Structure 1
Amino acid sequence: MKYPELLRFEDVLPRLDQFDTIIDVRSPSEFALDHLPGAINCPVLDDEQRIKVGTMYKQVNAFEAKKVGAALVARNIARHIEDRFLDKPRDWKPLVYCWRGGNRSGSMAHILAKIGWPVVQLDGGYKAYRNYVNGALEQAPALSFRVICGTTGSGKSRLLEVLHADGAQVLDLEQLAAHRGSVLGNLPSQPQPTQKAFETMVWDRLRKFDPSRPVFVESESKKVGQLRVPAALMDTMRAAACISLQLSRANRVRLLMEDYAHFTQDPATLNAQLDCLVSLHGHEKIKRWHELANSGQMEVLVEELLAEHYDPAYLRSIDRNFVQFDKAQVVELDDITPDAFLAAARHLQATA
């Protein structure tokens, strides 16, 4: 075999999890928007250098730009080899890609191959990968979903976490989106990924599931925070078998007080989010909720939000959006302890 081996993504895909390292040589800003699952960033031109060389192409000429670019690329590749790859054995198998599979990845792949490593270069680069993912997400996944439904605070996310830890197949869209899926769902310490990065994570999870086993997922809306759930996946979920998770309102308040502790410690941030509900509940109601937050009456506030906002919204939407909800398997939690969730998770796996 002659290396570097140039392969299309369709040919790389069956081997994708077998590469020792997936190397994205694009600039850091390109990498941050999205990248192949598990890739590391080893830019052959950083953002500033890419602008410099690109400007020379336009304002001087291609020859002068290539000379400057080649010197930068050579130095950067040398640094990556010294910093990250000197300890790799002869049989280390890397996959290298850039935006279109051209000069940037070609330079890195050529040098790694000359050293003696069996390197593969992705033909068409990230662009070809992205086209593949777009096409895959347009198809309904051939999976058997079990959709966990339940009012806000009933423990759907906790149940998914326990199911995953107990060996079940779980698609946790809120975890992938870094958002809890409601007006108060943003995670202050973790920004949401880009739409493309979210779709990459969804595609990567879906491709690894065993079609012979059920996949547990939460009854999400079409958007999780600012991110859109792929339409074909959403349609498949909404047609799937449902599980109705039930928990008393008192326990739901307890659970939400735990999960949203960051809001109880920062009433100003909570009130800013509550302002988004003015159009639904009016200024007087929002003013009352502000006062409850400012005076530390968080349990009262949570109780009222459940009774007057979240529960009515849930009841209006669940039957309309999840067509098998009227036949849902009912699972009642009598507490929010780890043992209660583990018992529910094992019951669901035994009856799936």
Structure 2
Amino acid sequence: MKTVTIEKVLPEKRELMIDLRTPKEFEEDHIPGAQNFPILTNEERHVVGTLYKKDPDRAKNLALVYGQEKLEALQQKIRVFSNSGREVIFYCYRGGMRSGLLVKHLDSLGYPAVKLEGGYKSYRNFVRRELSAFGKRLNFVVLHGYTGVGKTRILNLLQEKNLPVLDLEGLAQNSGSVFGEIMYSGKTPSQKYFESRIYSELSSITESHCFVEMESRRIGKVTVPEELYHGLVTSSHHVLVNTSLKNRIDTIYQDYVGDHELSREDLAGKFQRLKRILGKEKVEILIRTLENRDYKQIIETLILDYYDPLYRKSLKNYRGKMSEFTYEDLSKDLFAWLDGKNFTKD
């Protein structure tokens, strides 16, 4: 039986990879580009797992019965792909029975089947090692700035020019605030899949530097891996982005109001969560302003009374370490400012 390590697979990504785990396991996280063909459904795995505690041999036999029912469909799936001469790599959780027995069977039928050594678990260990290495190896150009200065827009403009970017908020599907999920319509990833998405982005970068927005370690429901976050904090390039209050209000309005269908009840509930900082009176004013749909006034109040005081405290940690970029017209001023900048490690 032919096997391959995850270190050999990921750099090329030319082979078809089939994840044999359950749909639930696949949804939580999987190797980028892999297709799911579960040997056991979610329900079947539960039945087998329960039986295994009482009678391991019967559980294994039942798993084989479940798997046998799916073999013909799987053979049809890989027949077309294997005609190209490319290998098909299979993996389960640990590289054990699910993938081992299947690869032996397919190999006996002449299909170019390969088992991933260590399965998905080897991939997870690989990702964690690589993220730690990226944190030490890459020189992050870290963007700071008060809410609404357009840090995410800067990342988008840089990405359009094929410059190296890591958009942590986009990968987390959350902007990391009380209102963080409004901007994003996608499903919040699991912690494992969030890390996989980070790895996928960083592994495609060929430059020695990468632009990223400074975040809290926790973004919504996920957390930036510790070693990677340390790379952001200790970077030699921190940039404070500045613009006018009007630009900030307009940016937030476009990003958070724009075409979004906002629930006044949901927003009022979020305002209530700010009562400890803003006080009861200001929260009541915000709710009354919400009834009039004066969103720009709400944004200005939140900027001046909530976000700016909070962000001001965090900036103290980087005082004296930051260069500054001030703009009026972002798309015009950004690349003029970037011209001639050197982002190698000091």
> What's the TM-score once normalised by structure 1's chain length?
0.88
The CA deviation at 1:134 is 2.7
Aligned partner of residue 212 in structure 2, secondary structure: strand
The 3 A distance-change label for structure 1 pair 62 and 328 is: closer
Q: Is residue 326 of structure 1 aligned with residue 316 of structure 2?
A: no
The CA deviation at 1:16 is 4.2
Q: Is residue 118 of structure 1 aligned with residue 112 of structure 2?
A: yes
Corresponding letter in the other structure for 2:194: F
The 3 A distance-change label for structure 1 pair 72 and 49 is: same
Q: 2:101 aligns with which of 103, 107, 111?
A: 107
The CA deviation at 1:168 is 0.3
Aligned partner of residue 279 in structure 2, secondary structure: helix
The CA deviation at 1:221 is 1.2
Structure 1 residues 238-247 or 168-177, which shifts more? 238-247
Equivalents in 1 of 2:39, 2:163: separation in Å? 41
Q: 2:239 aligns with which of 231, 243, 248?
A: 243
Map 1:115-264 to 2 at 5 A.
115-139=109-133, 140-187=135-182, 189-210=185-206, 212-240=207-235, 241-261=237-257
Q: Is residue 351 of structure 1 aligned with residue 341 of structure 2?
A: yes
Aligned partner of residue 175 in structure 2, secondary structure: coil
Equivalents in 2 of 1:109, 1:8: separation in Å? 15
The 3 A distance-change label for structure 1 pair 143 and 92 is: same
Aligned partner of residue 80 in structure 2, secondary structure: coil
Q: Is residue 296 of structure 1 aligned with residue 290 of structure 2?
A: no
Q: Is the 8 A contact 2:145 2:241 kept in 1?
A: yes
Corresponding letter in the other structure for 1:159: I
| 1:34-72: CA deviation from partner (whole Å, max 9, x where unpaired) | 11122221101111111222333344x344333332222
Equivalents in 2 of 1:299, 1:221: separation in Å? 26
The 3 A distance-change label for structure 1 pair 141 and 117 is: farther
Unaligned runs of 5+ residues in structure 1 are: none
| 1:251-292: CA deviation from partner (whole Å, max 9, x where unpaired) | 111111110026673222212222221221222221111111
| 1:218-262: CA deviation from partner (whole Å, max 9, x where unpaired) | 011111112111111112111221122211111111111110026
Equivalents in 2 of 1:34, 1:105: separation in Å? 17
Match in the other structure for 1:86: 79
The 3 A distance-change label for structure 1 pair 135 and 214 is: closer
| 1:284-327: CA deviation from partner (whole Å, max 9, x where unpaired) | 2211111111221111110010011111111110231xx3x534
The 3 A distance-change label for structure 1 pair 133 and 291 is: same
Structure 1 residues 253-262 or 24-33, which shifts more? 253-262
| 1:5-29: CA deviation from partner (whole Å, max 9, x where unpaired) | 223334x35x543332221110011
Corresponding letter in the other structure for 1:122: L
Q: Is the 8 A contact 1:169 1:213 kept in 2?
A: no
Structure 1 residues 235-244 or 42-51, which shifts more? 235-244
Equivalents in 2 of 1:52, 1:28: separation in Å? 15
Equivalents in 2 of 1:114, 1:244: separation in Å? 62
Equivalents in 2 of 1:26, 1:346: separation in Å? 50
Equivalents in 2 of 1:230, 1:349: separation in Å? 32
Equivalents in 2 of 1:278, 1:310: separation in Å? 14
The 3 A distance-change label for structure 1 pair 346 and 27 is: farther
Q: Is the 8 A contact 1:333 1:341 kept in 2?
A: no
Equivalents in 1 of 2:147, 2:268: separation in Å? 19
The CA deviation at 1:91 is 1.0
Structure 1 residues 252-261 or 198-207, which shifts more? 198-207
Unaligned runs of 5+ residues in structure 2 are: none
Structure 1 residues 244-253 or 69-78, which shifts more? 69-78
The 3 A distance-change label for structure 1 pair 282 and 311 is: same
Equivalents in 1 of 2:186, 2:69: separation in Å? 34
Match in the other structure for 2:276: 279
Aligned partner of residue 38 in structure 2, secondary structure: coil
Q: What is the RMSD computed on CA atoms of the aligned residues?
A: 2.2
Q: Is the 8 A contact 1:158 1:341 kept in 2?
A: no
| 1:111-153: CA deviation from partner (whole Å, max 9, x where unpaired) | 4433434333111111222223233334433011111111111
Q: Is residue 310 of structure 1 aligned with residue 307 of structure 2?
A: yes
Aligned partner of residue 215 in structure 1, secondary structure: strand
Corresponding letter in the other structure for 1:9: I
The 3 A distance-change label for structure 1 pair 264 and 48 is: closer
Equivalents in 1 of 2:212, 2:100: separation in Å? 41
